[in-house]
């Protein structure tokens, strides 16, 4: 397709009936599909076909959904623009000269373009919410442990969650109803929230709801984004909600802490991709170190290589305490800040992304700016909290998203509030 939203187009028919009967679903290409290529957007896995389905894939097929393809993504989920894919960049369906966000950009673009009714993405530091905001759709990152990660090729296990992308809040909630719940194959899943009615929570009744607004997550944002955000807050107040200022000083350090932790975990997780089982290496030539190095240099793109090297450095002797340990301490501070804030408010609101969708190619020239664009989304991952991005109009013809963060297993609350933004 012209947007390059899909890496593989296929049809996997679901059960004859169920809540998703007649619904088409696109699946991000780091979520395992039995016998169908799961490339993670990388040359390293260009020919890999998993021998099993991820639990979420089994769930959506059992619910009657029909998978229509595997969507493009930043390589191994490392990016905010879906430009680092080995299979080329995905275009934003709203403006094809701009990025769709990432790393689940193919999933968001497919839904926004009408190529799929719903989609699954994965969110390590905003990878469901960022493309949802840039493409004008809804994206939800669940609480860590609500949705099984079995079959997800994760690059940062302690941060990443699978989440739904949909045209509406109710649609995202319906898909969450299908995939939420404990899984014997994933010891990080919990019983909490498994019996909730997420679709039923999308009522938009915010009368009496208290919304915290941290200045830390609006400072430095594009004025056009802030204007749409303020308009959304005014609309929520008109519907009976109360907004109050809250302080989240730890969020100043969230991006730095997130990238140290995520890159460190990537350094470990991606060590398995050495050309022996995966990749296009030329085979053993008498020196295993050179064999592995050649295979990895050939199989990984620039951004993945950069993050592996930085993660290895952060974990190396003499630097572990200086970087990784301090990042974990900052993470604990972020969790504490949110816990204390939720003693006084029901949800925390901010712009999803501080900027409008960049032009294709701009972010590749300045990776630091790409990292900083995650300033508002990474705190929820560090704190393992649920967060949803919902469209809040547009600025200069480009979509703007509002992010709502809730307490652990507070998906019903943020879904309800998001439905009010949507109205």
pLDDT in single tens digits along all 423 residues of the chain: 599 999 999 999 999 999 999 999 999 999 999 999 999 999 999 999 999 999 999 999 999 999 999 999 999 999 999 999 999 999 999 999 999 999 999 999 999 999 999 999 999 999 999 999 999 999 999 999 999 999 999 999 999 999 999 999 999 999 999 999 999 999 999 999 999 999 999 999 999 999 999 999 999 999 999 999 999 999 999 999 999 999 999 999 999 999 999 999 999 999 999 888 877 766 677 888 888 888 899 999 999 999 999 999 999 988 999 999 999 999 999 999 999 999 999 999 999 999 999 999 998 888 888 999 999 999 999 999 999 999 999 999 999 999 999 999 999 999 999 999 998
CB 201 within 8 A of CB 415: yes
Residues 6+ apart with CB under 8 A from 198: 173, 174, 176, 177, 180, 411, 412, 415
Cis before 103 (ω within 30): yes
Is the pTM for the entire model greater than 0.75?
A: yes
124-135 burial: b if 16+ Cβ within 10 Å, else e = bbbbbbbbbbbb
Nearest 5°: phi and psi at 40? 60, 20
Q: What is the DSSP string of 65-126?
A: -EEEEEE--SGGG--SSS-S-TT-PPPPSS-TTB---SSSHHHHHHHHTTS-SEEEEEESSS
Report CA 381 to chain centroid distance, whole Å.
9
* Number of residues written out for the chain: 423
- N-terminal to C-terminal alpha carbon distance within the chain: 32
Rounded CA gap, 122 and 32, in Å? 12
Measured N-to-C along each axis, helices 169-179 and 411-422 cross at an angle, to the nearest 10 degrees, of 160
Rounded CA gap, 141 and 120, in Å? 11
CB 49 within 8 A of CB 36: yes
State the pairing for strand pair 118-123/138-141: unpaired
State the pairing for strand pair 210-214/138-141: unpaired
The pLDDT value recorded for residue 282 is: 61
Report CA 47 to chain centroid distance, whole Å.
24
Q: Which residues are catalytically annotated?
A: 28, 103, 127
**Which uninterrupted H or E stretch holds 314?**
helix 302-315
CB 347 within 8 A of CB 209: yes
Nearest 5°: phi and psi at 242? -115, 135
Q: What is the DSSP string of 271-284?
A: GG-SSSSSS-----
Q: Which domains does the chain have, with CATH numbers?
A: 6-244+344-422 (3.90.1300.10), 250-332 (no CATH)
Helix-, strand-, coil-residue percentages of the chain, each rounded to 5:
40, 20, 45
Nearest 5°: phi and psi at 199? -65, -35
The pLDDT value recorded for residue 281 is: 66
HSE-up of residue 330 (Cα within 13 Å, Cβ side): 23
For residue 394, count CB atoms less than 10 angstroms from its CB and return exposed for 0-12, middle for 13-18, buried for 19 or more: middle
Among 186, 188, 156, 101, CA closest to 382: 156
Give SS3 for 100: coil
- Retrieve residue 26's tokens: 């696109």
**CA Rg value for the chain:** 20
């Amino acid at each position: 397709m012209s947007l390059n939203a899909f890496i593989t187009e296929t049809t996997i028919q679901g059960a004859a009936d169920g809540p998703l009967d007649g619904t088409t679903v696109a699946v991000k290409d780091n979520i395992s599909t039995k016998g169908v290529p799961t490339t993670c957007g990388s040359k390293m896995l260009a020919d890999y076909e998993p021998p099993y389905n991820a639990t979420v894939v089994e769930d959506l097929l059992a619910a009657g959904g029909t998978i229509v393809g595997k969507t493009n993504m930043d390589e191994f989920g490392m990016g905010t623009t879906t430009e680092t894919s080995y299979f080329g960049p995905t275009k934003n369906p709203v403006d094809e000269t701009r990025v769709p966000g990432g790393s689940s950009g193919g999933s968001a673009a497919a839904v926004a373009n009408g190529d799929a009714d719903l989609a699954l993405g994965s969110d390590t530091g905003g990878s469901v919410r960022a493309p949802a905001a840039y493409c004008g759709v809804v994206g939800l990152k669940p609480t860590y442990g609500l949705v099984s990660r079995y079959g997800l090729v994760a690059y940062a296990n302690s941060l990443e969650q699978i989440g739904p992308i949909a045209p509406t809040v109710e649609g995202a909630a319906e898909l969450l109803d299908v995939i939420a719940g404990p899984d014997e194959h994933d010891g990080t899943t919990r019983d909490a929230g498994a019996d909730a009615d997420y679709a039923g929570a999308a009522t938009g009744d915010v009368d009496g709801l208290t919304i915290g607004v941290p200045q830390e997550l609006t400072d430095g944002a594009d004025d056009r984004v802030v204007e749409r955000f303020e308009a959304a807050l005014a609309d929520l107040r008109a519907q009976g909600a109360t907004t109050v200022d809250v302080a989240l000083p730890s969020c100043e350090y969230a991006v730095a802490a997130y990238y140290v932790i995520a890159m460190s975990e990537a350094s470990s997780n991606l060590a398995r991709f050495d050309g022996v089982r995966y990749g296009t290496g030329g085979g053993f030539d008498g020196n295993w170190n050179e064999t592995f190095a050649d295979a990895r240099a050939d199989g990984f793109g620039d951004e993945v290589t950069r993050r592996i090297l930085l993660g290895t450095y952060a974990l190396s002797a003499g630097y572990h305490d200086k970087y990784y340990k301090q990042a974990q301490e900052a993470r604990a501070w972020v969790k504490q800040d949110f816990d204390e804030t939720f003693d006084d408010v029901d949800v925390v609101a901010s712009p999803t992304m501080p900027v409008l969708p960049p032009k294709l190619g701009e972010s590749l020239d300045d990776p630091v700016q790409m990292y900083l664009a995650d300033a508002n989304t990474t705190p929820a991952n560090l704190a393992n909290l649920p967060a949803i991005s919902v469209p809040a109009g547009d600025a200069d013809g480009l979509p703007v998203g509002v992010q709502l963060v809730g307490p652990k297993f507070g998906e019903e609350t943020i879904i309800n509030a998001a439905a009010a933004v949507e109205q």
